[in-house]
Structures are given as structure tokens and as C-alpha cells.
Chain A
Amino acid sequence: MTLLSTHGLTAFYGDFQALFGVDLTLGAGETLAIIGANGAGKSTLLRSVCGLIPAASGMIRFDGADVGALSAPEIMALGIAMVPEGRRLFPSLSVEENLLIGTYGRKTQGTWSLSTVYDLFPVLRERRHNPGTALSGGQQQMVAIGRALMSNPRVLLCDEISLGLAPVVIKDIYAALPRIKEGGTSVIVVEQDIGQALRVADRVVCMMEGRITLEGTPARLTRAVIHDAYFGARV
């Protein structure tokens, strides 16, 4: 069953057109990886789905309703949570407060609460009274993911969660994704790092220059095919 979809979605990043008619679907319980080079339009796609960037044309449907015209807080309240690029913790809030504020616009009971998020990332429990920004990059990323989970979202959008982190830290963070899936949340991960994305995803979409160039399951996609879709076909 399709939970979230875009139809002919067009959007601008400043003055530049970043999306050219993107059709995307996300099934309930599915984990979708969107890969592509820098500037392919992946982040713009996520930002327009979560309401931070208005769509220039096209449609965004969530759970049967058209949500394209809603603001970011309204979309969040419906159950689409975003882990923004660069983690974006609130520096005046402690780790625990950063987690708690994730429920501001949506207080739905479910799998995720302070204690289950601390179980998922035990290191955060020890540091819960520290300012969020005093943590290492990997720990900050854990807070950002936990913060998004606190509202028990139906869809979790993760924008470049491996950016700037050491490979061993990235592995730790990606290890949490299966447990997030078990909680019933559908996930979209946007990545430039193909390896991690392919390991966790049920399905992969590759973007280039604002368009979807390839779609399939990780098992069926060879490195070479992805490479072509990622960088453009070798002629």
C-alpha cells in the first residue's frame, strides 16, 4: 500500500529549478534509499515533502490526502518527521530537551519515547543533560534521529545522515535503522554514500539533475548500472 507519493513534483532551490517532475512512491513499512550526486535534487525533494520548500507544481499525497499546500508544522503533525541535513540540533537545549522538543507538534504514543530512544542510542542517556552541541558529530546525529522519532512518525525522512562522519560511526547509526523499521515507521534515506544505503534499503531510487534516472531493488541493481545513473551514462 502506498503511504506517500509525489506526482510530477517540480520545485526550485532559490532561483534554480532543482526538481523536474519527480514521481516517487513510498510503501507502508518500506525503506527507500534515494541516492545521487551532490546537486541531484535529493535534499530539495525531501525539503518539499516536509513542507520547507513549496512545490512549484505537481502533487504530494500522504495517506490518501493532498498535502502539497501544507506548511512544515502541519505536515509534521500528520506524521512525517525529518532529520535535517547537518543535524541541526538546538544549541540552547540539552540532549534530553532536544529529544523532547521532537514531540512539540505531535504527541502520539507509540514505540518511541525517551526511554526507548535511549535504549536505541545508549550513549545519549549518559549525556542527556549536556548541551546538544557539546556532543561528537555521530552522537549529535543520534540525537537528531531520536528527536525525529519522538513524535512516533509514520514516515521518517533522513537527509544525508552519514555526512561528515567516520565510517565506523556511520555503521553504528545505520545499525539503528532496522529497529526503526520494526517500529512500523517507513523511512526515506537520502545519501551520497551508496554502500550504506543499499544495505538497508528495500528499494533504491537514483536521481540526477532533478530527475529520477533509475529505480529498483538493491539485489537487482549492479554497481555499473548505479554508476551510470549516478554520474550519467558513459557514451
Chain B
Amino acid sequence: MANPVSYRVETRTRASGRAAIAAAALVVLAIGLPAFAGRSLLQDMFVILSMLTLAQCWNLLAGYAGLVSVGQQAFVGIGAYAMFAGVIFWGWDPVPAILLGGVAAAVLAIPTAFFAFRLAGAYFAIGTWVIAEVVRLSVAQWKSLGGGTGTSLPREATSDMMFVEPIASLFGLRDAAARDVLAYWLALALALGTIAGVYALLRSRQGLALAAVRDNRVAARAVGVDAQRMNWVVFVAAAAITGICGGLIYMQTARISPDAAFAVLDWTGYVIFIVVIGGIGTIEGPILGVIVFFALQRLLADYGSWYLLILGVIGIAVMLFAPRGLWGLIHDRTGIDLFPIRRRLIIKK
């Protein structure tokens, strides 16, 4: 090699560099938000961040791995119930008990995947939904957790919750408000961690394998990508995070019932709209989608069922006329990639 061409492979773009700086500033701002924001803003932010986490998980499944699940509410619900079980039966503090939710969801994901992966395409979607129904109906038989009517977190568990006292004294808040701050920070950490995790996965070798499987299953197998193994990893990981998120949501609510915790509309339906409207198969899409979703919810809050009706119409319209969502439109106009995954070859003479 007398005159080697030097080159490097990178995924960074100019926009992503700037975005990284802006994102760092935003994260700092978000962490400091409780210092100057009121309780209702923090509660809104909690909803946005937890929906964002669920949306990133569903997007990873449907947008990257081609696993269109309509049964993610199974993992929200089982995560929430596991958290309640930890607190009520074993006297755990609710905060670490959230992680129990992740474990329970991951454990549930194993038989679910074993069953659902035998089904292709549409059968998979229906199969996951049926499993979620089975879990809901089974949990409703769990009399010591309130059966079909549900139960509440014991008062002493919520009042003595970890971190609440230092937060209360730091900001000079009452316990209830301090619990909102704690829930907000946990939701922020979970959402950022999920985005970082998904981004890291997609940039890794496994992420490339995932894209290869999505684009051409047969060709991917021919170059040695084990699609089934990747699907297992993604499915169980998404379930675990979804379960943690479920535990967190119901730590904040402090009251649970099977119908609410396993609601297909709340935990899968809305999530699908967020991802579709924002742009499926991108990390930016769910972020944009959750903002639009929340704005619509606020705007149409007084119109009852008209809100969902309009949401449905928008979802259909986006899927038919802009199947890559709002972020797809923005990306096509501007070429911006905030979370670049595509590798580019840069050759230096």
C-alpha cells in the first residue's frame, strides 16, 4: 500500500452535532425544571415523558423490528401490578419496586414471545392482544390485589417514599408536591435512558442487523444475521422498559385496577398514534408525536369524544398520505437527522 487512502466511517452530521449541544442544554433545563415550575406543569411533563418512553419502545418493536404488537398494555399492567405487589406483600419502597415491574414484564415477555413469534404479521398483532387480555383477566382474579375493582398503594408506603423528604426540604415543598417532583425526575431519567439506549442499540452492530432484517429478512439471514435472536432481544428489552414505565405511572397514580392498567387504548392505542403521527422508524418521530398528541389533547379537552374522533382521523390521514409521519416530512424538506444512524464514508485525500 504505497499511497493509502485514509478514510473514516461516521454517523455524525452537522445537525446532529448542534442538536447534541442543544439537547445537553435542554436536559440541564429539564433537570432544573422543578426549581421554577408549578405542580401542574410537572404533572403534564410526567405524562409526556412516560408516553414518550412507551412510544420509543413500541417504535423499536414496530418501526425497527417489524413486530407490530397490539398488546403492550400487558407489560404496562403487569409492571404496575408487580410494583404494587412488591409494596403491599413485601413492604418494598415504591421507588425500587418500580424495577420489580421491569423484571415482571421481562419474565412475562418470554412466554409471550415464545407464543407470538410462532405467528406471522397480522396474527402476531392479534396474538399479542389476546395475551394481554388473558393477563388482564387473570390479574382480575388476584383477590389480594383487589381483583376486578383494584386497590390503592398503602398510605404509609407513599408518605415514607424514598427521596421525598430531601426533595421536600430542597425545594421547600409539601410531601405531595415533592412526590410529583420525584415522579417527574424518574420519568425524565427513564425517557432519556430509553432514547439513549435505543440510539445506542441502533448504532451498534446489532442495530445494523436489525435494519438488515427489516429491509430484507432472507438477505439478512444469508449474511449471517439471526433475525429470531434479534427479535427476542428487542421484544424482551422493550417489555422490560414498558414494565418499568408502567410501575412508574402507577406509583404516581397510587391507585390501580385491571381495566385501567391493561387498557389497550391508553397504553397501546395512544402510543401507536404518537409514533405514527410523529414518524415511525425514527427516534425523532415519537418525540415530535408526543408533543403533537399532548397539544391536541389540551386543545380538544373540552370536546369529549370529538377529541378521539379527530385523533383517529389525523392518524388515518397521516398513515395514508404521509406514512413516514411529521418527522418524515421535515426530514425530506431539510435533510436534518438529529439522531443519525446511517453510516457515511468520509475519504481524505
Any A–B CB pair closer than 8 Å: no
Residues of A within 8 A of B (CB): none
